[in-house]
Amino acid sequence: MNTEQLDAEPAFAIIGEDMPRRDWLKARQGGIGGSDSPQILGLSKYGGPIATYASKVTDGDFSDDKEPKFRRLGRELEPVILRLAMEEIGADSYRHTPNTLFRSTLHPWMLCTMDGEMLWEDGRQLWTEVKTGADADDWNNGIPESVEAQTQHQLFVTGADELAVALFFTGWAADYGVTRIRRNEEYIQDVLLPATEDFWFNHVEPRVEAGLEVDGSEYTRKALDLLNPEDPKAVDINLSGDEWLHKADELRALAEERKAIKEREDKLKNEFRKEIGGARHLYLIDGTYFSTTFMAEAPAPGPRKAHTRFLGPFGGTK
C-alpha cells in the first residue's frame, strides 16, 4: 500500500491469518476469492462459473488428504520461490503469508489471499502472488487473461497499485522469474466488479444455479455431481424443444466421429508396428522415428518397461 494511504481507511480487513488449510478453505466460502474471478469470467482451465458456485454452496470435503499432490507440492514450494523472487527483484526480505484471508472493506464479498510480500528496509512493500506450475507458452504473449483477472482482483482487495507475480516455469526447461502487474482501474470497475457482484448476489446468496454457463472441464463435471447427488426417489425429466434434439444429434455425431478417428489411429499404429517388426526403431526420411515399447534388462527385482519419446504416441525426431 502507498504511504499516502496509511491515514485512510484500510482497503481490507484480515479475517484469518495463517489458518489451518481446512479452515481457510471453509472461510473462502464467505466471498469471491482471487482464483474464483477467472472461473466466473470463463478464463480458467480449472473450471467455470458452475465450479465456483458449487465450491460456495456445497459442503465439500476440505481434508488435506483429498488435495491433489501437484497442489500440495506448489504450496510447499512457495517459500522457495518467494526467496528467489526476493533476490531477483532486489528486495531486502520477504514474508510468507499462507492461508491468510483478506476481505475488502468496500465490497465485503471480495476476498483474496496473497502468497507473500516483498519488503525493503525503507518501508516499501510489494504483495506477491506465486505461480509454481507456470507454463512458459502461456506467457509468450504477455500476462495470461486468467492471471490478469486474478491479480486485478487481488489489487482491488489489497488497495495496492502494483503487485509482483513470482513464476516457476515447470517442464524440461525449468526456470523462474518475476513480473510486476499494475492496477487497471477500468478493468476492475467495468469487468471485474460487475461480474463478481452479479455472481454473488444473483447466484450464490440466493442459491440460484440457473443461468450459469457450463464448460467441458472435469472440474465442472465434478461440480455438477456435487450439486446434484443421485436421488433414488427422483422422478424422470422430460425435455421439450428442438434445441435438445439438435444437441442430442450433435452428441451422437461426435461420438461416432471420435470412434472413427480412434479406429483410424489404431490402424496406422499397427501399420507402423508391422514395419518395425523386431527392430527397436523405424526412421523416416525427415528424421521422424517410431518405436514400440520394449523390455530392457535391469537389476532385481525384475525387468522394467522403457519407451522412446517422439512426436505422437509412437515416434519422435532426431
CATH of residue 84's domain is 3.90.320.10
The grid coordinates listed for 181 are 502487474
Tell me, yes or no, whether 121 and 191 share the same domain. yes
In a domain, 160, yes or no: yes
SS3 of residue 117 by DSSP: strand
Please tell me what DSSP assigns to residue 112: E
Per the structure, the count of domains in the chain is 2
pLDDT of residue 99: 92
- Residue 79 phi/psi, 5° resolution? -60, -35
- Quote the pTM value: 0.77
Tell me, yes or no, whether 205 and 79 share the same domain. yes
Amino acid at 65: D
Inter-residue contact 193 to 147 (CB < 8 Å):
no
Instruction: Look at residues 58, 64, 48 and name the one whose alpha carbon lies nearest to residue 221.
Output: 48
Tell me, yes or no, whether 90 and 172 share the same domain. yes
Inter-residue contact 209 to 50 (CB < 8 Å):
yes
Tell me, yes or no, whether 219 and 283 share the same domain. no
Helix axes 218-227, 49-57, angle to 10 degrees: 40
**78 strand-pairing partners:** none
In a domain, 241, yes or no: no
Residue-range definition of the domain harbouring residue 275: 263-317
pLDDT of residue 112: 97
pLDDT of residue 49: 95
Tell me, yes or no, whether 211 and 298 share the same domain. no
The grid coordinates listed for 146 are 486468467
pLDDT of residue 304: 32
Instruction: Look at residues 310, 314, 317 and name the one whose alpha carbon lies nearest to residue 270.
Output: 314
In a domain, 256, yes or no: no
Label residue 255 exposed, middle or buried (CB < 10 Å: 0-12, 13-18, 19+). exposed
In a domain, 249, yes or no: no
pLDDT of residue 173: 65
pLDDT of residue 64: 52
pLDDT, averaged in runs of 10, over the chain (318 residues)? 53 92 91 96 92 90 63 85 94 94 96 96 96 81 93 97 91 80 97 97 96 89 87 82 89 93 87 81 79 47 34 39
Tell me, yes or no, whether 213 and 289 share the same domain. no
Tell me, yes or no, whether 23 and 111 share the same domain. yes
The domain boundary, picked from 227, 243, 276, lies at: 227
In a domain, 192, yes or no: yes
Tell me, yes or no, whether 272 and 223 share the same domain. no
In a domain, 246, yes or no: no
pLDDT of residue 111: 97
Tell me, yes or no, whether 216 and 280 share the same domain. no
Amino acid at 173: A
What value, to the nearest 5°, has the Cα angle with vertex 157 and ends 118 and 176? 35
In a domain, 238, yes or no: no
Tell me, yes or no, whether 76 and 185 share the same domain. yes
Distance CA 237, CA 243 (A): 16
Tell me, yes or no, whether 88 and 222 share the same domain. yes
The grid coordinates listed for 174 are 525449468
In a domain, 252, yes or no: no
Distance CA 48, CA 223 (A): 10
Tell me, yes or no, whether 106 and 223 share the same domain. yes
Amino acid at 96: H
Amino acid at 302: G
3-state secondary structure 1-62: CCHHHCCCCCCEEEEECCCCHHHHHHHHHHCECCCHHHHHCCCCCCCCHHHHHHHHHCCCCC
- Establish how many alpha carbons lie within 13 A of residue 278's alpha carbon, considering only the half-sphere containing its beta carbon: 0
